[in-house]
Structure 1
Amino acid sequence: MRRCAIALAVLLAGCVTGPVNVLHKTGSSLAERQLAADECRIAGLQQVPESTQIHTNPGYYNPGTLQCSTIGNYTSCNRVGAVNIPGSVTTSDANQGLRERFIQRCLAAKGYDIVQRPICRTRQETAAYEAVRNNQPPAEQISCVPNDPI
């Protein structure tokens, strides 16, 4: 059982390969990047609130045809060609794109860029990133990031 759990964890870890967006500002600390990201996300929600749109799909139903045959006193009926596709309801945020652009402009005004980097595949790569996480190097020196790349 333990081997199955380990194998599953390895398989799932391989699912996220990136690249992922990384908040970058040379010399910034993790706390500074988290603060800037939080401030801009909060401002984004305040300035561009959610506008939830509800989309409904009524589905489709076709009862098909009922075919019966009688042999003597016995009647047998079967429904042929019946289709039932249930309806569905989905939601979306009509302001999501505008809010994301607002957040990016907010971060840019604070001196941050968003760069893309792949997820680190080895412990050594992750350790190298962790070692400089509190004094972020220039973007070209960051080869990969862990799963939580702020």
Structure 2
Amino acid sequence: MKTLMRIIVAGLVVGACGPLSLYYKPGAQVTRMQSDATRCEVEALRDAPVANQIRQRPPIYFPGNRYCTGNGCYYNPGYWADGGLYSVDLNQDLRRRVLDMCMAQKGYQPISIPRCSANVASVAPRAATSTLPALSQTSCAIRYDDGSWQIVTPQVPTASE
């Protein structure tokens, strides 16, 4: 249970630091993109439902130890430990492809926008993105604690500036 909690916490930390992944269509309203994504997620779940399969890792053998003292040597016997059970959703990849296909039919494409540096984030006026802007090579994303995000395109100084 502790291991599972560590994995979940690590995933949240990495997710907060990583790029912003979303479906993108220039000029689309964010609320429209989110509702389209929800509809497509429901369709993908209907067309490729969760199909969990229980699997078992192989058992692990721990060999015994030899202890020697002045009175002779002693052996602790080895033992087998259960490898553990886990589940795999066999339709997860298919569901992702169905979702991507549905969103593509609506004009969206999956993208990842890098996170803005601290310098950019500190000078950008806080305003959650409501309409997906045109992107450039310098576009980056700022995530806020409330789950909203902002896409900004910092101006790159030219040689004459």
- Superposed pair shares fold, TM > 0.5: yes
Note if contact 2:23-2:110 (Cα within 8 Å) is conserved in structure 1: yes
**How many angstroms does 1:131 deviate by?**
3.8
Match of 1:6 in 2: none
Counterpart selection for 2:87 from 91, 96, 101: 91
Summarize the Cα distance change of 1:97–1:145 in structure 2 as closer, same or farther, 3 Å threshold.
same
Q: Does 1:109 align with 2:120?
A: no
What letter corresponds to residue 79 of structure 1 in structure 2?
Answer: N
Alignment of 1:25-40 (within 5 A): 25-40=25-40
**CA deviation string 1:99-140 (max 9, x = no partner):** 101000101111111112112233743885964711211132
**How many angstroms does 1:15 deviate by?**
7.8
Q: Distance in 1 between matches of 2:15 and 2:102?
A: 31
**SS of alignment partner, residue 145 of structure 1:** strand
Alignment of 1:54-73 (within 5 A): 54-61=54-61, 64=64
Question: Please, what TM-score do these two structures have when normalized by structure 2?
Answer: 0.64
Note if contact 2:29-2:132 (Cα within 8 Å) is conserved in structure 1: yes
Summarize the Cα distance change of 1:56–1:98 in structure 2 as closer, same or farther, 3 Å threshold.
same
**SS of alignment partner, residue 146 of structure 1:** strand
Runs of 5+ consecutive residues of structure 1 not aligned to the other structure: 1-11
Q: Distance in 2 between matches of 1:129 and 1:112?
A: 27
Match of 1:41 in 2: 41
**SS of alignment partner, residue 142 of structure 2:** coil
Q: Distance in 2 between matches of 1:103 and 1:15?
A: 20
Q: Higher relative contact order by CA 8 Å / sep ≥ 6: 1 or 2?
A: 1
**SS of alignment partner, residue 104 of structure 1:** helix
How many pairs are equivalent? 135
**SS of alignment partner, residue 139 of structure 1:** coil
Q: Distance in 2 between matches of 1:127 and 1:20?
A: 19
**How many angstroms does 1:22 deviate by?**
2.2
What letter corresponds to residue 121 of structure 1 in structure 2?
Answer: S
Q: Percent identity?
A: 27
Higher alpha-carbon Rg: 1
Q: Distance in 1 between matches of 2:83 and 2:100?
A: 37
**CA deviation string 1:60-90 (max 9, x = no partner):** 336648889995xxx974316x254432111
Note if contact 2:66-2:73 (Cα within 8 Å) is conserved in structure 1: no
Question: Please, what TM-score do these two structures have when normalized by structure 1?
Answer: 0.68
